[in-house]
Amino acid sequence: MPTREKVIFEYSQPGRGASDQWPHYVGVAPLADLPAKLRRSAAPELPEVGELEAVRHFTRLSQLNFSIDTHFYPLGSCTMKYNPRACNQYAMLPQFLARHPLAPESHGQGFLACMYELQEMLKEVTGMQGVALSPMAGAHGEFAGVAMIRAYHRARGDLKRNEIIVPEAAHGTNPATATMCGCVVREIPVNAAGDVDLAALKAAVGPNTAGIMLTNPSTLGVFERGIEEVARVVHDAGGLLYYDGANLNAILGKVRPGDMGFDCLHMNLHKTFSTPHGGGGPGAGAVGVAARLAPFLPLPVVDREGERYRWLTESEMPQSIGRLSAFMGNAGVLLRAYIYMRLLGRDGMRAVGEYATLNANYLLKRLRDAGFEAAYPERRAGHEFIVTLRRQAREFNVTAMDFAKRLLDLGFHAPTTYFPLIVPECLLIEPTETESREMLDAFVAAMSQILEEARQEPERVRSAPHTMPVRRLDDVRAARHLDLTWTPTTQH
C-alpha cells in the first residue's frame, strides 16, 4: 500500500486555487448591506490548492483504506456485503439529486413512488404493519423505536413503565438508546448455550417494564431459540419487544421479526439492504411497527391515494413521536436500498439469508478444522459466529487483537474484535453471502498461517501489522495529547 500522504494544508500556497469552480459573478457591491459588526474580518483559512493537487491528494488518501471493493471485510455485526454499483448510479440520476426536500408532491411522484414501495417491501420482509423511513442510522432507528414504546405506554396512562431490558451481550447502542429516551437499563445474562436466561428475564419483568431490546440471531451469532417464550413473558408483563435489526441479514426471507412476536424494529439498510457504509456512514435506520404502535411512527411517512403519492401530515398523525430529521432522512440511501431490493426480488431476499448462513457455517467449520475454537460449538451459526482465541492467548501470548492486525498484512480486513464483551479474546466473523467459497478458503489459509506463526515466531504476530501505511498507533497518546486539528506548528 502507499505510505504517508501529506495533510492537505501542507500543499497550500497563498493565491492558488481551483478557480474554474468559483462563480464569476458576485454582484455589484454585494456586501454593502452587511453591517461590519456582523462580518467576518478575514477569509477562512481553508487550503489553497489546485484541482489536480486536490484530486491526487484525496485519491491517494482513498488508497490507504481497505474497503469491500478492494478486500474481504468479514467485520462481524456489520454485514459488509457487495454494494452494487447500479444502486449508486441510479440513485444519483440528476433529477433525484436536484430534487429539493420541500419540493411539492407534484414534482416528486417518481421519488415518492419508490419510497412508498420501499415501505411496503420492508413491511413484507419484517412482518410489520407500518414503516417509517426517516431515521438516519441504526441507533437513530433504535431511538425512534424506544420513543414509540414510551409514547405507547404513556398514551395508555401507564406512566411507570420506564425500564428497558437488554441482554448483557447487546450492542452498546441499545443501552445508550434507552438512556437517550429517558429510560433505565436492566441488563440480563445469557445462558451457557447463548440463549436469554429465561429465569433472569422472568425476575426482571414487572409493572415498570417498558420493553426488551433483542437482536436475533443474537450478538453471539446464534438464533434465540426461546424467542416465543421471551415474547410471552414480556407481553404478559405488559412490555413490548424491540428487534435490533443489525442481524436481519441472517434470517431475511426465512423468519420475520413480526412473526416472532416483536412489536417494533429498526432495519440497518446499510447492512441487510447493501447501501454503502461510506467510511462510517451514511446509514439508514427505517423503523417498522405492529399495528398498535403505528400511530406513533416518526414523520414523514409516505401514503398513496389512488395513483397519487403524498406525505401524511402532522394532523393525520397527531400521536407521532415527531420529526427526527430536518427533512426526509437519508433519501439517497433509501433509493439505493429500494434499487437493491428490486434487483433481488422475492427469491433473492430468501437467498440472502440462506447463503449468508451457508457461508458462515462453512467458514466456522473450516476454521474449527484448522484448530480454532468456536465460542458456541454446539450451536448452528447464523450469518456470523464467534471464535475465541483464549487458548492461543494463554499458550502463545498472542491475542485476538494480534491476529486481527496480522490479518491486515495478509490482505484481509479484520473481523470485529473484543465484541461481544462476554467472550474472552474473541473474533466475531461475518462473511456475508456475496463472498465466494474460494475467498473463504483463502481466509482460512491466512488464519492457519497466523496460527502457525503464533507457534513458531509469535513476535511476528504480536508486532503486526508490518505492511500497512502505519504500524500500531498509540491510542493512549492520542487521548492524552489531543491533536484534533492541524496547525502549521503542530510538532510531535
Partner 1 sequence: MAFIPHTEADVAAMLAAIGARSIEDLFAEIPPSLRVSSLAGVPEELNEMEIGRLMSERAAQDGTPLSFLGAGAYEHHIPAAVWAITTRGEFYSAYTPYQAEASQGTLQTTYEFQTMIARLTGMEVANASMYDGASATAEAALMAVRANRKSKSARILVPTTLHPHYRRVAVAMASNQGLRFEELPYCTVEGVTLPASLGKYAGEDVTALLIQQPNFFGRLEDVDALTDWAHERGTLVIAVVNPTSLALLKPPGGWGSRGADIAVGEGQPLGVPLSSGGPYFGFMTTRMEYVRQMPGRIVGRTLDTTGREGFTLTLQAREQHIRRAKATSNICTNQGLLMTAATIYLSLMGPQGLTRTAAASHARSRELVAALVRTPGVRLAFSGPCFHEAVLLLDRPVAPVLKALAARGILGGLDLAPYYPELGPALLVCATETKTAADLERYRASLSEAMQAARAA
C-alpha cell at position 99: 430534487
Q: What's the CA gap between 374 and 381, in Å, rounded?
A: 10
Instruction: For the CB of residue 47, give the shortest distance to partner 1 in the complex, in Å.
Output: 5
CB of 234 to partner 1, least distance (A): 16
- Of 145 and 394, nearer to partner 1 (C-beta) is 145
Which residue in the set 413, 431, 447, 450 belongs to the binding site for partner 1 (CB under 8 A)?
A: 413
Q: Whole-number minimum distance, CB 5 to partner 1, in Å? A: 7
The site map against partner 1 for 52-71 (x = CB under 8 A) is --xx-xxxxxxxxxxxxxxx
Q: Which is nearer to partner 1, 455 or 458 (CB)?
A: 458
Starting from the edge strand earliest in sequence, which strands make up the sheet with 416-417, in order? 373-374, 385-388, 426-429, 416-417
Residues 6+ positions from 445 with CB-CB distance below 8 Å: none
Q: Does 131 bind partner 1 (CB under 8 A)?
A: no
Among 197, 303, 354, 373, binds partner 1 (CB under 8 A): 354
Question: How many residues belong to the site for partner 1 (CB under 8 A)?
Answer: 204
Instruction: Examine residue 263 and tell whether it contacts partner 1 (CB under 8 A).
Output: no
The residue within the footprint of partner 1, chosen from 323, 391, 394, 445 (CB under 8 A), is 323
CB-wise, 199 or 370, nearer to partner 1?
A: 370
3 state DSSP class of 299: strand
- The residue type found at 264 is C
**CA-closest candidate to residue 76, choices 423, 396, 351:** 423
Candidates 12-20, 196-204, 237-245, 287-295; binding stretch for partner 1 (CB under 8 A) = 12-20
CB of 363 vs partner 1, minimal distance in Å: 9
- Per the structure block, which three cell numbers stand in for 463? 508486532
Secondary structure letter of residue 75 according to DSSP: B
170 close to 139: Cβ distance less than 8 angstroms:
no
Site for partner 1 in 155-194 (CB under 8 A): 171-173, 175-182, 185
Contact positions with partner 1 (CB under 8 A) in 191-220: none
Total Cβ atoms within 10 A of residue 469:
13
d(CA 115, CA 264): 20
Q: Smallest gap, in angstroms, from Cβ of residue 236 to partner 1? A: 19
Instruction: Determine, following the binding rule CB under 8 A, whether residue 428 of this chain makes contact with partner 1.
Output: no
User: What order of strands is seen across the sheet that includes strand 209-214?
Assistant: 130-132, 287-289, 264-267, 240-245, 209-214, 163-167, 184-188
**Site membership for partner 1, residue 311 (CB under 8 A):** no
Minimum CB–partner distance for residue 72 and partner 1 (Å): 12
Question: Between residues 51 and 158, which has the closer beta carbon with respect to partner 1?
Answer: 51
396 within 8 A of 462, measured Cβ to Cβ:
no
Q: Smallest Cα–Cα separation from 452: which of 405, 412, 398?
A: 398
Smallest gap from Cβ 97 to partner 1, in A, equals 4
